[in-house]
Amino acid sequence: MTMRRRMFLGLAAGTTLAGCGYRSVDAEYSQPPGAVPAKYGNRVRVVFWTSYGGANGKAVDKLVAKFNDSQQDVFVEVQFQGSYDDVAQKVAAALVAKQAPDLAILSDVTWERFFLNDALEPLNSYFTDGFGPAVFQQKLFGEYVVKGQSWAVPFARSTPILYYNKDAFAKAGLPDRAPRTWSELRSWGPELSKVQSGGRSLRTLALAKVDGDWQFQGNVWQFGGAYSKGLDVTIDQDGAVAAGEWQRQMVHVDKLAYMAHSPSTDFANGLVAMMQESTGGLKSMTSKAKFPVGAGFIPSEVASGLATGGGGIGMMRNISTERKQAAATFLTFLALPENSAFWTTQTGYLPVVNAARENPDLKKLIAEQPNFGVAIAQLTNARQQDAIRLYGRNANVAIYTGLQQIYADNTAVKKVFGSVAKRLEAIGDEVKRLYEEKVL
C-alpha cells in the first residue's frame, strides 16, 4: 500500500498518523507548484484547491478574478482537484509530502477528519466585523464550530430539495406543488404512472445508486429515526427501518421507484417525475430539463428534517503566518454579501452570508424563479447530520451500499441495516477516542 493511501486511510479514520510521516503540526509546509503572474507583481500567493467544474467552476473563477483585480497584496490561484473525495485524498497526500494548499474545499463528511488530526487552522483570530459569526447563516456556520473554535467557513452549502416535473403533474391531474408527506407522494404514483414517457409509464421517484445516503439521512429523521446518537449506531432501529421499508415497497411492491445511476439525468430527460437532489444543481437542472421544473420541500412523515451538505473552506494549519493572513483576506472577500449572492445566483447553492439575501440580483432571481426561494426557505428544516456519518471513515459508503442491496435485490431492510449497523459500530470505534477528546 502506498504512503498516500496509508495516510489517507489513517487520516480519515482518525488515527495518529505518526507512522505515515504526518505528525508535526508546527512545521511550515511548502506550496504546490506555481507562481504569481507578472501582472500581479510581488504579491503573496494563496493556493486554493476546489472541487467545482463546469458552470460552478466558472463561477469560482470569476470570484477569484474579481478578488485578484480588487487589491494589490494577495494573489489567489485556483487549482481544480476533482470531486470532494478527490480533494480530500490529495490534501492528505500533500500533508504527507509536507506540501499543502493554503485553502481547500472540504465536504460535509471530510473536514471533520482533518480537524481530528490537527490539520486545520482555527479561524477565530482572523475574524473581523465583516468576517465572523454574525456575518454567516447561523446553522451553516455553526456546523464548523467545535468547542468555541471555528475550523472552516461555509461556502457551497446545500440541502436536498424535491424536484418535480410540472408538465407530468399537470397531465396526471395533480396539484402544482410537491407532496407534503411521503404517504401523499406514494398515493400520487398510480396517477403519474398513467403518463407516458419514452414509450413507457412514467416512474414516480428515482433513488440514487451512489451517495443516496445523504438524502436518506433526512428520510430517516422524517420517519422518526437516526443513523446514530453521537457515535452510538441506531440505523437498525425503528425509524430508520421504517424509512428503508417505505423505499423498498416503492421499488419492489408498487413498482413506482427505482435505483438510478444518475437521478438528475433521468429527471432532466423526463423519465421520472420526482427526485431528491441538491439545491446546488438548481441552475443547471433548470437549464437542462426539457420541461418546467418545480421544487418543493422534502416531504415529512412523522417528523420533518433534512440534512445539510456541500462544501466549506478550510485553512491548512501547516502554512506560514504570511500565507494564513493572505488566505484570510480572500475568505473575508468571499464573505461580502454581493459575492455570496453572486455564487448563489450562478449555482443554486444556499446564500451562506445573511446580508446576501437582500442583494438585488438575488431578490430578482427569486422573483423570476421561485425555486431558488424554496431552497432558502427550506433551510428552516435543516440540521447537521448524525455523527457517525460525519466522523466515521466510509460510513457513507457502508450506508449507501446497504441501500443498494434494498433497491436492487429486495433484501429485507431489517437484515440489511443490521449488517450496516455492525459495520458502522466498527467504524465508530476507530474514531471514538479522538471524537470524545476533541468534540465532546
- Domains of the chain, residue spans: 3-158+309-382, 160-308+384-438
Q: What's the chain's Rg over C-alpha atoms?
A: 22
pLDDT at 26 over 80: no
Same CATH fold assignment for domains 3-158+309-382 and 160-308+384-438: yes
- pLDDT tens digits, residue range 98-131? 999 999 999 999 999 999 999 999 999 999 999 9
Architecture per CATH, domain 160-308+384-438, reads as: 3-Layer(aba) Sandwich (3.40)
Is 207 or 17 the better-scoring residue by pLDDT? 207
- Residue 150 cell numbers, joined: 471555528
pLDDT at 9 over 90: no
Amino acid present at 152: A
Region of 275 (left: φ > 0; alpha: ψ -120 to 50; beta: rest) is beta
Residues forming beta bridges with residue 314, ordered by sequence position: 104
Q: Which CATH superfamily is domain 3-158+309-382 in?
A: Periplasmic binding protein-like II (3.40.190.10)
Mean pLDDT of 308-329: 97
Lowest mean pLDDT among 4-18, 141-155, 160-174, 204-218: 4-18
- pLDDT tens digits, residue range 410-440? 999 999 999 999 999 999 999 999 999 999 9
Q: How confident is the model at residue 198 (pLDDT cuts 50, 70, 90)?
A: confident
Mean pLDDT of 284-290: 92
Main-chain dihedrals φ then ψ at residue 353, nearest 5 degrees: -100, 125
Query: Cα–Cα–Cα angle for 157, 161, 163, nearest 5°?
Result: 135
Could you tell me which residues come within 8 angstroms of residue 255 by beta carbon, excluding any fewer than 6 positions away? none
Burial class of residue 44 in the structure, from the number of CB atoms within 10 Å of its CB (0-12 exposed, 13-18 middle, 19+ buried): middle
